[in-house]
Chains A and B, each alone.
Chain A
Amino acid sequence: MAAKTIISRPIYGTLSPQPGKHHLFLADAEGALAIVDMAKTAPLGFFDGAEIVFIPGPDGKHVAVLEALKPAQFHVAPSFASLLPRLKQTLANAHMGLRLYLAGTEGLIGQAMQVALEAGIDHTSMQTEHRGSLARRMQCVHCKGITENVTTQPATCSHCGLLLLVRDHYSRRLAAFQGVCINAEDRSEIPPMEEAFP
């Protein structure tokens, strides 16, 4: 569970069934279990109006438990980038009354939220639940490059190679935490790298 440090650091909740006619779920890896847990409190017939889009983790688990919920539509995607056109299409055709549920890693929640914000859903209107890895999506404030799945502190920018302090400062617009050069005064000073976001 993420702790509140500074105001931009996102805080996630627990998925709960919302009133509405259509329910769009997006989850990766262990995020599937957040949906399964929520389903226990959902009213009868809730998944008749639901679509679940799922990105399995490397172990490929949890597909069967989601299928068992019998959503109106179930789609398994290999990566977030690969499902983006489908997600945009769904949101572009959607009406008010569609509710969005995001569960899994921060990277998935953040990127899906970014697309949904552009489609006109307020971030406070989305249900989110963090499950699984704490790995971060990070933007290097110097070269603006994005590095996915950052688990260490500090972390190396995958674009310009600078050693970055991964801050809790988060941008909803970019769906990324901000990384700032940790040894700008003296590059030869290399602080120890620790596993901070397992």
Chain B
Amino acid sequence: MSTGTTKLDVVVSDVVPVNDLVTRFHFRRRDGELLPTFSGGAHVVVEMRDGDRTRLNPYSLMGSPLDTREYTISVRRVDAGRGGSLFMHSRVHAGLEMVISYPVNLFSLDLRAKKHLMLAGGIGITPFMAQTAQLAGSGGNFELHYTCRTASLGTYADVLQERYGRRIRLYHDDREERIELDRLLTSQPLGTHLYVCGPAGMINWVRARAAELGWPPETVHYEHFAAPQPGLPFDVTLAVSGKTIRVGEQQSLLEAIEAAGVDPPYLCRGGVCGQCETNVISYDGKFIHNDHWLGEEDHRSGCKIMPCVSRFEGKSLVLER
């Protein structure tokens, strides 16, 4: 079960294709009331009921936090993924009743900052849509640098430039435009906080340069939801509930645990928040850790696993669930 959250019964109020890869979905409450307040950077977990299978994927809210009549998310189609984004693109239509979680923010603005420097890559733009709206509404000082593959795939680049003009700087891969990262990071006034959302490679690059150039860790914020990777099926024994389950090729360990009727806590389902951290009682084989939560030591120890994104290969695995 999602920790401390209640579900929201919503209806899809609109589906808007944005470009070749991205579609936007609008949700309203079925009872017509306002949705809960959220802050820029928050995400919701969307439940996708696909026959007897339920997928739960996190998506950043991209609407303005000042308007809670509806929530909006943008979903990039990933053809080689586990099918969540394809389900959203092909099966979700206006009028469909769906269930989403309450919003949770693991990527919030530090409002003590004198300035907010934002770096987005690709679909990583979505949390910044909400954050820029929030800051603009309160006169906050921000600057957004947005890297996209081509102008036509620069999701919302036009909207952002229209809204914020020179505060938005675009970089197109196909035109060989690159962020001059070192220059950017060394020319920011004291009290600036840095936010980065995009592919893992970009996040790692930005974090490493910022650390090297003397940005204290508490001024650097990032979010990267790891999508659960498919893999070989494996068997798991849940010691507390006395069940043995099989994790399918396209299923995450967390989904398999839930399918067996056991409800571990979760929030992000992307290896970030730490809620579903699970103790390993015994194992014979090797772990495939894909999370950003556990430290290297924990990964090596074989004592813990994040079932939302990580897998296992081997003879036996016994978990404290």
Closest partner residue, chain B, to A118 (CB atom): B191
Known: A95-B186, A96-B185, A96-B186. A121 touches B191 (CB 8 A): yes
Known: A20-B213, A97-B213. A122 touches B218 (CB 8 A): yes
Contact between B191 and A120, CB atoms less than 8 A apart? yes
Q: Which residues of B contact A121 (CB under 8 A)?
A: 190-191
Contact between A120 and B113, CB atoms less than 8 A apart? yes
Q: Which residues of B contact A18 (CB under 8 A)?
A: 214
Q: Which residues of A contact B186 (CB under 8 A)?
A: 21, 95-97
**What is the number of residues of chain A that contact chain B, defined by CB distance less than 8 Å?**
19
Determine the distance from Cα of A135 to Cα of B190 in the docked complex, in whole angstroms.
31
CB distance from B283 to the nearest CB of A (A): 37
| A137 interface residue (CB < 8 Å to B) | no
- Of B191, B211, B212, B215, chain A has the most CB atoms within 10 Å of the CB of B191
- Of A20, A22, A99, A119, chain B has the most CB atoms within 10 Å of the CB of A20
| Set A19, A120, A124: member contacting B190, Cβ < 8 A | A120
Determine the distance from Cα of A21 to Cα of B186 in the docked complex, in whole angstroms.
9
Q: Which residues of B contact A22 (CB under 8 A)?
A: 214
| B114 interface residue (CB < 8 Å to A) | yes
Contact between A19 and B214, CB atoms less than 8 A apart? yes
Q: Which residues of B contact A98 (CB under 8 A)?
A: 190, 214
What 0/1 readout, one digit per residue, does chain B (175-202) give for beta carbons within 8 Å of chain A? 0000000000111111110100000000
Contact between A97 and B114, CB atoms less than 8 A apart? no
Determine the distance from Cα of A94 to Cα of B188 in the docked complex, in whole angstroms.
9
Closest partner residue, chain A, to B113 (CB atom): A120
| A8 interface residue (CB < 8 Å to B) | no
| A79 interface residue (CB < 8 Å to B) | no
| A182 interface residue (CB < 8 Å to B) | no
What 0/1 readout, one digit per residue, does chain B (155-183) give for beta carbons within 8 Å of chain A? 00000000000000000000000000000
Determine the distance from Cα of A22 to Cα of B187 in the docked complex, in whole angstroms.
12
| A73 interface residue (CB < 8 Å to B) | no
| A91 interface residue (CB < 8 Å to B) | yes
Contact between A119 and B191, CB atoms less than 8 A apart? yes
Q: List 28 A-B contacts (CB under 8 A).
A: A18-B214, A19-B213, A22-B214, A92-B190, A94-B190, A95-B187, A95-B188, A95-B189, A95-B190, A96-B185, A96-B186, A96-B188, A96-B214, A96-B215, A97-B185, A97-B186, A97-B213, A97-B215, A99-B216, A119-B190, A119-B191, A120-B189, A120-B190, A120-B191, A121-B191, A125-B216, A125-B218, A125-B219
